[in-house]
Structure 1
Amino acid sequence: MMLKNLQPIDKMSLGLMAVFTVVIGGLIGGETLCGTDCFLSRGPRVKNFSWQGKIVGAQDEAFIVTFDRPMDTKSVEANLVIDPPLPGKFSWAGRRLAYTLETPVPYGETYQVQLSDAKERFRKQGQPGEVMQPFVGEFQSRDRALAYIGTQGEEQGRLVFYNLTQQQKRMITPPELVVMDFQFYPEGNKILFSAFDKGRGIDGLRELQLYTVPTGVKEGIQKTEANETGTPELILDNQDYQNNQFELSADGKIIVVQRVNRKNPADFDLWMLKEGNKPERLKVTGGQFAIAPDSQTLAVARGEGIGILPLQPEAEPLDFLPKFGQLLSFAPNGSAAAMVDFNTDDANLRYTRSLFYVNNQGIQKELLNTEGSIIDCQFNLRGTHLYCLLTQLLPGEEYKEQPYFAKFDIKTGKMIPLATLTDYQDIKISLAPDGLALLFDQIITSDNPLFSDKLTSNSGEAIVGGKLWLLIPPIANGSNPQAELKELPLVGFRPQWLP
């Protein structure tokens, strides 16, 4: 009779009390039967894997595995399996294991991290630790992808994005713009490019404007649902100034542009463009320039030398390197650079050039002296090797150069020839972020006036085609002891890898 008079909330409370009584009783009974050790019989487990389900790139150097209790480190290290293999080094901090890769993670792969049969640290003297619960983690590396400027058909003059991993190709700029140069933003989600209106021919080089366009990439993976053509955003117009060479900082926040006053050609300067701000004159004159990887320093060719100065207006130089006439590239961490000495001060070396490794510790190491040309060089991500496009002066009365690729070991200074090409013209090289492939082009030109309103080379000839190639360097103790050359099924020029 009393239960009938209970309010609904009272009935619910009594029900919950009954449930909790059964649960607590079961727990107490279980502990009486098997003791407190039964709660530990599951063995140790992985609490967190820092790369689980993530997409990682060349800049990601280490993953962390966190356990729920102290582990026997040797048994963990002996049983950790990564498939495909990624050589690396172990380090410990309590229950946390850090695995640091020896080389950047290869792109275009899915990886599994497996761990089983590892034991916890001994709880008592002479008593073995529990064997852990098996763990399987998974992560991906970025897609292997590139962009280039098309040369034929509907691709002519347009930026084309090609995903090698997924075998997908898309044009990402509209047909009314002719692209001349471009750079990826650090995340690969958009591209900065210079372009002019179609139909302007060689006059278009004096009418370049800067734009950005989305690539359809998120975290290094191309979104298949992305539209074929992006919508460019105008970043810098050409109303009062002619825009020439430009450079994007490593953090993607600053653009430096060489500009010439349209009314006064003697008025040329470098300008800085920051996100959300108006263009700002740096009051820095000079030739070739590059932004250092710290995104705060500028290197500028000035007369017979390279000036190093802060990236701010009217800055005083931090350093000047009078020996060098050309800066080729910086090491990714900014600690070193590849430079060219034209040997003008030495009568015995008047007709030669020297390739130098120069670091911030004052070391200037000559890697090569040649009668040919030093076209371009790029460091691998760790800065341990330098990949170069060079030429060799062929014997004979006619001046003729033969291009070839070579790799330099910075520590030993040893040069390793990779491949020889039959001819050279405006070759653009790009080293993959994982260091496993070098991308380059070979343009096809014509002096036929019918093509004069099309794309033009550095020498002013009309570009009517272009081949894109992969150079795959040999891997130490690997299956390919010699470099491989592979032609891609693409027609274009100025290729660049997705970061």
Structure 2
Amino acid sequence: MLKPVQPIDRSAFIVMLILSVVIGFFLLRGDRAMARVRDFSWQDRQVGAEDSAFILTFSRPMDHISVEENLQIDPPLFGKFSWAGRRMAYTLESPAPYGQTFEVKLDKARDRFSQADAVGGIQPFTGQFHTRDRAFVYLGVDGDEADRLVLQNLTRQEQKILTPENLVVMDFKPYPEGDRILFSAIERSSEAQRRLADQQLYTVTTGIQIEAPALGFAEAPTRPTPTSPQPAGMVELVLDNQAYQNLKFDLSPNGETIVVQRVNKQNPSEFGLWLLQGNNPPQPIETEPGGDFLIAPDSQSLAMSQGQGMAILPFESGAEPLDFLPKYGVILSFAKDGTAAAMVRFNRDPNNPTRSLFYVTNQGNEKELLETDGSILQAQFDPAKQNLYSILSRRIPGDTYAEQPYLSAVNLETSQVVDLLKLPIQQDIHMSLSPDGLGILFDQVVSSTSNTADGVIRGRDGKAITSSQLWFLPLAIDQKGMPLVVEPEKLEIAGLKPQWLP
């Protein structure tokens, strides 16, 4: 005999029926939760020239075209899109200008399963990031700044003397994060004839702390682990001069390796390169004798002039050269990505000795960019590897030998040369291309007319440098990719060897 249906059972059945209908409706309709940006890799980060792409991660697979058409960056930054699942990368055509704040917006985009005329779409997104401060370091020449490292922050309009008064700075190189400077210096109280032999290597903090984004599609950052913020002016000895004289040095692009040219004080025939890594004691690099050298962008090898050419050497002692380029006597610089280098060939025609600037790739391609009867002193690649900026000179006709220096640009594809600036006749000129490629710093020195004048810092001619003026040359590119000739700006700064922070 069937039991009558109880009211509570009837109510439960009705509720189950309603829930089944609702569930079926949503199953048929699909998940209509509004798509959103789950992560923006540059959010509230400080971006540098090496940061070439940001990543947006979405909660749902997106319609690519709708995202690309609606993404806005203010101020605009040109680039290209690429996708990997729910992640979109936007790769910049050129580095973002330093000293600015950028806003990234996305609205009206839709996910992959929405109809083109569907109501709703993505949840509106707004993010922002900053670029690093526009800042540089220089060697002071006047007053309290004389022979000391000085930090000039153009973005914040701040100036700081970094090194103590008792040290006379000879040369310096910034670390990749801009938080420290590696420099060589002597004690100001040293006897004049012993000064150069007394060089020691130090680091000094700049007070800069960068909150950098991770690199590429990697989930974990591949940059050095950030250290605790330190105030500017903290000096630390890196390499003393007890047994060896320290001469030329270079810092690897990753900031983890220092290579120093040293000579034994007791046995001058013991002359060569030494390697410093981390807290390990310095180790000699056993290789054939050589001259000028430069650490490669891979931070694992270096280029060094040896004999009648340029050798590419690993850091391991006694290892065979990775390559040897017999044509070239000087390497001026590497492209940031390590795919090319700017080198100088000496054309030994006894009747017409000249020098040629070459563009040499890691694929073995060699291209002569220009030839001059003067000198080729410096060269730097722009971030896009479109132009090579150089300090070069040409001989001035006449009975007295003299060279006229120029700040020039040469297009790497067409070899077209543009003289951006005719410089004063002098041998000591240093330039530094900004990491965003938008300007060049250079100095204009004044040397003593006497070879015996007092002064530690001396030029290539051996004369003491008594003063120096810093200049800034803004760079603008025309439709053909060549820089335009513009007037330089005189900075109210007396200094030498200006160097942009990365």
Q: Which TM bucket (shorter chain)?
A: 0.7 to 0.9
Q: CA separation in 1, counterparts of 2:421 and 2:127?
A: 40
Equivalent residues in 2 for 1:139-288 (5 A)?
Answer: 139-200=129-190, 201=192, 203-219=194-210, 227=231, 230-284=233-287, 285-288=289-292
Distance 1:319 1:481, change over 3 A: closer
Q: Give the match for residue 53 of structure 1.
A: 44
Equivalent residues in 2 for 1:291-306 (5 A)?
Answer: 291-306=295-310
1:160 alignment partner, SS class: strand
1:77 alignment partner, SS class: helix
The equivalent position to 2:86 in structure 1, one of 95, 101, 106, is 95
Q: CA separation in 1, counterparts of 2:30 and 2:490?
A: 61
Moved over 4 A (4+): 34-42, 447-451
The equivalent position to 1:323 in structure 2, one of 321, 327, 335, is 327
Is the Cα–Cα contact under 8 Å of residues 310 and 318 in structure 1 kept in the other structure?
Answer: yes
Tell me, yes or no, if structure 1 residue 133 matches structure 2 residue 123: yes
Is the Cα–Cα contact under 8 Å of residues 341 and 354 in structure 1 kept in the other structure?
Answer: yes
Is the Cα–Cα contact under 8 Å of residues 79 and 91 in structure 2 kept in the other structure?
Answer: yes
Q: CA separation in 2, counterparts of 1:130 and 1:484?
A: 52
Q: What is the CA deviation profile of residues 258-294 of structure 1, one whole-angstrom value per residue up to 9, with x for unaligned ones? A: 1111122222111111111111111232111111111
Tell me, yes or no, if structure 1 residue 111 matches structure 2 residue 102: yes
2:195 alignment partner, SS class: helix
Q: What is the CA deviation profile of residues 121-146 of structure 1, one whole-angstrom value per residue up to 9, with x for unaligned ones? A: 3446x873632222111000111100
Q: CA separation in 2, counterparts of 1:401 and 1:282?
A: 38
Amino acid at match of 1:167: Q
Q: Give the match for residue 415 of structure 2.
A: 413
Amino acid at match of 1:493: L
Amino acid at match of 1:279: P
TM-score, scaled relative to structure 2: 0.86
Q: CA separation in 1, counterparts of 2:487 and 2:109?
A: 41
Tell me, yes or no, if structure 1 residue 62 matches structure 2 residue 66: no
Deviation at 1:93, TM superposition (A): 2.5
Q: CA separation in 1, counterparts of 2:257 and 2:71?
A: 42
TM-score, scaled relative to structure 1: 0.87
Deviates more, 1:380-389 or 1:102-111: 380-389
Amino acid at match of 1:85: P
Deviates more, 1:483-492 or 1:106-115: 483-492
Q: Give the match for residue 337 of structure 1.
A: 341
Q: CA separation in 2, counterparts of 1:371 and 1:459?
A: 19
Deviation at 1:473, TM superposition (A): 2.0
Q: Give the match for residue 10 of structure 1.
A: none
Q: CA separation in 1, counterparts of 2:103 and 2:114?
A: 30
Identity %: 50
Q: CA separation in 1, counterparts of 2:205 and 2:428?
A: 27
1:256 alignment partner, SS class: strand
Deviation at 1:425, TM superposition (A): 2.9
Is the Cα–Cα contact under 8 Å of residues 474 and 488 in structure 2 kept in the other structure?
Answer: yes
Q: What is the CA deviation profile of residues 273-324 of structure 1, one whole-angstrom value per residue up to 9, with x for unaligned ones? A: 1111111111232111111111111211112211111112122222221111
Is the Cα–Cα contact under 8 Å of residues 428 and 441 in structure 1 kept in the other structure?
Answer: yes
Tell me, yes or no, if structure 1 residue 76 matches structure 2 residue 80: no
The unaligned stretches of length 5 or more in structure 1 are: 1-23
Q: CA separation in 2, counterparts of 1:454 and 1:370?
A: 32
Is the Cα–Cα contact under 8 Å of residues 146 and 496 in structure 1 kept in the other structure?
Answer: yes
Q: Give the match for residue 442 of structure 1.
A: 444
Q: CA separation in 2, counterparts of 1:132 and 1:58?
A: 31
Q: How many residues align?
A: 467
Equivalent residues in 2 for 1:444-483 (5 A)?
Answer: 444-447=446-449, 452-477=454-479, 481-483=484-486
2:318 alignment partner, SS class: coil
